[in-house]
Amino acid sequence: MSETPSVETLLYGFFSRDHVVKERLLASLDDLAANMPPADSVVPTRIHDARHLQPDAEADADFSEAAFFDEYGFVLLPHESAVENWDIDPSQPEASQDAVRTYHPEAEALIRSRLLPGRKLEVYQGPPARRGPGTPNPTYAAGVHQDYGISPDDYEEGLLAFTTPEMARGWRRRFDMDDVEGFMVINLWRPVYCDGPLMHMPLAVCKPHSVRLDDCVPIGLLDFAPTGLPTNQLSMRPHPDQRWYYYPAMTNDEIFAFKNFQFFKDSPDLKVEACFHTAFEDPATPPDAAERQSCEHRVSVFLLKD
């Protein structure tokens, strides 16, 4: 395969290559930054254009979105949504709001028919989260991270930090049942309210199987989760084998679907199965580019035995 077009730019949030991982690092965001290499020592990372990697579904009859998603951990899905209002009003019932009432059925249909077709699934969804100026999340997550760790124990601990003991125990009971083959969290990330192609602070992801387990740095963020408990997530050390990708100039009618977490019970060894990711500054971004407005929707999926 010929080399795909790429950009070279700075990604932040890496630990140094010689960082020794002894145990999970418990730190506040400020303390975490203090453990990172100085900004002036950060080496540029090459991010490959995934539009040149992913075949055109209309031109290649053999292309399978599901197979690409399985191999790379991400895929671009053309999708025109009927949602008109992507914002969630916390004073109103979630089920009555457009971003839930309309998008939940769309998201479940995408997962069942295009990402995991033919699989027996249980799908659970919360409200989508908006990001950008004027939203509850006005800044961009411009630091390399993975949200949930590697193992079911990691995921359960993270769930405990962000929800309740009852929800964490309920998830674990369902996961441990004999009919469950595995569990996945899929992030459906898309631009919204863009007048043209998105140019400002696009999203980059790292192909999971290009990351060695030894590259992972376990992190527990303090004073971050609503419960006050430490989170359970990962940072990483850079390595030449890591392969980063992005989809330039995304539109409102495209979804960047990627794996936030994955674990199958029959996996013989722990390995990286989900995408490290970050927002980044594309050197090709025009100085007058509109600030990014986006929506991320994390969907929990139990994969069941046939």
**Each residue's pLDDT tens digit, 110-122:** 999 999 999 999 9
From CA 54, how far away is CA 65, in angstroms rounded? 9
Residue 299: C-alpha distances to residues 56, 105, 181, 229 (Å): 26, 12, 17, 23
Q: Report the range of poorest mean pLDDT among 13-17, 76-80, 95-99.
A: 13-17
pLDDT band at 172 (very low <50, low <70, confident <90, very high): very high
Q: Is the pLDDT of residue 1 over 50?
A: no
**Each residue's pLDDT tens digit, 56-71:** 877 888 899 999 999 9
| Cβ 12 vs Cβ 278: under 8 Å | yes
